Amino acid sequence: MALALFDSVATLQPIDVARLTLVEPVERAGEQLARGQVGTVVDVVDQDESKQYLVEFADLEGR
């Protein structure tokens, strides 16, 4: 199933910050993107034979 621009997605397991590109600095060492976080697909890039997705996540404070 391919995702489209502006689709909503949710994390099924925690994602370590080392795998993320962050816009704001991490406040706590060892922080993870928690399971169940909902984000929005903001870009879809075709790379070789697969697609790459840019997903934006924000907390209740807009960070």
**pLDDT per residue as tens, the chain (63 positions):** 789 999 999 999 998 888 887 776 666 545 788 888 899 999 999 888 888 889 998 877 777
Burial of 7 (0-12, 13-18, 19+ CB in 10 A): middle
pLDDT given for residue 52 in this prediction: 86
CA atoms within a 13 Å half-sphere pointing along the CA-CB vector of 60: 0
Overall pTM > 0.85: no
pLDDT for res 27: 63
Contact at 8 Å (CB) between 11 and 36?
yes
